[in-house]
Chain A
Amino acid sequence: MSLKGKKQSFRILRGDSENSSMEDFEIELDEGMVVLDCVHRIQHEQQADLAVRWNCKAGKCGSCSAEINGKPKLMCMTRMNDVVAETPENIPIEIRPMKSFPLIKDLVTDVSWNYEIAQKIKPINGPDEKNWEFNQMEADRVQHFRECIECFLCSNTCHVLRDHDLFDNFAGPRNLVRLAQFEMHPLDKEDRIPEIKKDFGVEYCNITRCCTEVCPAGINITDDAIIPLKERVVDRYYDPIKMIWRKITGRK
């Protein structure tokens, strides 16, 4: 289906923390556009000061997160064909900034909380010798986590943060993925399990899997990162046999 020449209306959130409202815009579409192209067109043709964060426009940097028709997505990877198809005729396509983070202006939000948590996570601690040896099977598990592009759509989606505001108790899916990536690194020697339970609050996750559904990098956040971390917390704190075994052997 070619959208070339179609007039399409948009309803975009404009404004900042003091004053914001939804404003309507109309532009003419071209073939093969993504939502970000439309926002740029509005910016270049109508509203030069429309604020939008973006960089690579190829789904690799994770800057242009926004909520399109109520669903958080990367604007650069959302094709207009799909959005037009899901939006009923005569209703504008709605674009809002991410709702879980404080609004700066228009489609830009303050995501600094994610960076603050990242700083609290203990960095990798491996052998001092260079030329580390581990095999591809071991690498695979960790590489999967490292595909994260830090768009923070998962943290925006997670109801623990979105609905319950537990920013002080819970690290959010993105940073749990980061913790998993260090914890499961074949040569890392650091123990982060106590913090994962206490400070990063893995138990707040009730595995409703919205983070996995929303991840544009296709990371199986729930199955591969959070649940294995939960299982490791069970090993340490809830499994009586393992606890007795550790007492007997004196091993961690």
Chain B
Amino acid sequence: MGEGFKLPVLNGLGKTNRIDNWWSQPLIMGTGLTITLIYTFWRLFIYDLEISYHLNGSTVVSPLFSPNILEWELFSLNEWAKTAPNWINAAILIIWIPFGFRGTCYYMRRVYYRSFFASPAACWVDEPQINKSLGYKGEKMVFIINNLHRYFLYAAIIILLIKWWDVTHTMHFNDGFGISIGTLVMGIEAFLLSMYVTSCHALRHLAGGVLDRWVSGVSKLRGKMFKKISIINRSHGFWFWASLIFVFLGDLWVLAVNKGYLSDIAIFVI
């Protein structure tokens, strides 16, 4: 096509015939993401102290630093940590996994293309001239890396399992087995992350979407998994934000307990 007269789309960033507050959503989401990025940077590179606390023999680790692999005896990581440079911490070593998983997430892509690249900032709102003069390539060029989402998913599933393992560490008290506020914080965080991971588009594809037929036996089971995942997939965006926000709330909780502003208690012990 291209021939024939088209009504001019109003050229330039933010030009539109819309009369509603179309800018509010990309603004809020963009601000939210920026704050989390800055906070993460501060926590990882500037102030990586007070990442966990102990309560009566149990250990509560900040979600941002969980799993704290530098305390593992596996591969003598704990030994290596003593000789490693000062700025190294657990989060710096594993952050690429959640970062990569979230960064290539099909929901997250919507958010950053809209908020950071204005491509487009909102529906029926024009893009800045620079987007057009650069030539739009879609998810090719640098964004081709998004195709690796499923590999980040595999890694994220491993991290997730360890996070649940970390939750159990909050439940072993000197005088028995129980639950503290820290357990709830880490538990809810692990739950939200689980929902976020299991509602993933790539998981949905690998579980059943890849097949055309769901006839019987295994393929039927995969079809059912596809249907189940499809249900929570509808709210993938919600799980994205909920799990993201809770990582930081969890970290703030651990920080606050360490600083003595708040204190953890065991809710019950058996």
Q: What is the interface of chain A, defined by CB distance below 8 A to chain B?
A: 13, 17-18, 20, 67, 69-72, 86-88, 91, 94, 96-97, 99-103, 110, 113, 134-135, 137-138, 140, 157, 159-160, 162-168, 170, 183-188, 201, 203-210, 213-214, 220, 222-224, 227-228, 230-235, 237-239
Q: Are A86 and B19 in contact (CB under 8 A)?
A: yes
How far is the CB of A145 from the nearest CB of chain B, in Å? 13
**Residues of chain B from 95 to 129 with CB closer than 8 A to chain A in the complex:** 106, 109-110, 113-114, 119-120, 123-124, 126-127
A94 touches B17 (CB 8 A): yes
- Please give me the residue from chain B that is nearest to A183 by CB atom: B212
Q: A71-B18, A239-B147 are in contact. List 4 more A-B contacts (CB 8 A).
A: A97-B7, A137-B220, A183-B212, A210-B123
A206 touching B209 by the CB < 8 A rule? Answer: no
Partner of A103, one of B6, B120, B223: B6
Are A157 and B123 neighbours in the complex by a CB distance under 8 Å?
yes
CB distance from A134 to the nearest CB of B (A): 7
Are A184 and B127 within 8 A (Cβ)? Answer: no
25 of the cross-chain contacts (CB-CB < 8 Å) are: A17-B4, A69-B17, A103-B7, A137-B220, A137-B224, A138-B212, A162-B9, A163-B127, A164-B136, A166-B136, A185-B212, A204-B136, A206-B119, A206-B138, A207-B106, A208-B113, A223-B201, A224-B230, A227-B201, A227-B205, A230-B139, A233-B147, A235-B210, A238-B144, A238-B147
CB distance from B30 to the nearest CB of A (A): 14
Nearest-Cβ distance from residue B252 to partner chain A, whole angstroms: 31
A48 to B220, CA, bound (A): 58
Q: Is B215 an interface residue (CB 8 A)?
A: yes
Closest A-B pairs by Cβ, 5 of them: A102-B4, A70-B17, A17-B5, A204-B138, A210-B123
Interface centre among B137, B144, B234 (most CB of A within 10 A): B137
Q: Enumerate chain A residues within 8 angstroms of B114, measured Cβ to Cβ.
A: 208
Q: A215–B11 Cα gap in the complex (Å)?
A: 25
- Cα A25 to Cα B269 in complex, Å, equals 75
Q: Select one of A20, A168, A210, A228 contacting B124, CB under 8 A.
A: A210
A138 with B139, Cβ < 8 A, contacts A102-B4, A207-B110, A231-B202 known: no
Contact A231 B205 (CB under 8 A): yes
0/1 interface trace, chain B 128-162, chain A, CB 8 Å (1 if under): 00011000111110011001111000000000000
Chain B residues closer than 8 Å to A210, beta-carbon distance:
120, 123-124
Which of the residues B138, B210, B214 comes within 8 Å of A205, measured between beta carbons? B138
User: Which among B109, B124, B127, B202 has the greatest number of chain A C-beta atoms within 10 A?
Assistant: B124
Q: Which of chain A's residues have a CB closer than 8 A to the CB of B212?
A: 138, 183-186, 188
Judging by beta carbons under 8 Å apart, are A160 and B136 in contact? yes
A206 to B112, CA, bound (A): 10
Complex: chain A residue closest to B11, CB-CB = A163
CB-CB under 8 A from B18, the residues of chain A are 69-71
CB distance from B230 to the nearest CB of A (A): 8
Question: Shortest distance in angstroms between B182's beta carbon and chain A's nearest beta carbon?
Answer: 36
CB neighbours of B2 from chain A (8 A) = 165, 167-168
Residues of B204-253 at the interface with A, using a CB-CB cut-off of 8 Å, are 205, 209-210, 212-215, 220, 223-224, 227, 230, 233-234, 236
Cα of A168 to Cα of B1 in the assembled complex, Å = 7
A186 in contact with B213 (CB, 8 Å)? yes
Q: Which B-chain residue is minimally distant from A163 (CB atoms)?
A: B127
